[in-house]
Structure 1
C-alpha cells in the first residue's frame, strides 16, 4: 500500500507534488487483463460494487 500521509496537495499551484504511480504499458495491460478475468470469474455484475486489494 502506498502511503501519502506526508504529501500536501496544493490546489491551484504548479509545484504540487506528484502522487501518481508511473507504470509501464506492459504492466498496466497485464494488470487490466487480470482484473477483467477476475471480474468474469467472480461473476461481478455491472454496477455491482467490489473492492480491489493489491498485495505486493
Structure 2
C-alpha cells in the first residue's frame, strides 16, 4: 500500500500534468513516465529472477 508521501507525490504529478496545455508536451511526458515505469518493472523482475551465489 502506498505511503502518504507517495500519495502526495502522485497528486503533485497529476496536478502538474493537468497544467500542461500543449498536447505534444503532454504526450512526451506520458511516454517518458511509461518508459520509466517499464524500465523499473524490468529491473524488478530481473532482481526477482536472480539467484544468490
- The TM-score, its normalising length taken from structure 2, stands at 0.38
**Higher RCO, 1 vs 2 (CA within 8 Å, ≥6 residues apart):** 1
Q: Could you tell me the TM-score, scaled by structure 1's length?
A: 0.36
Higher helix content, 1 or 2: 2
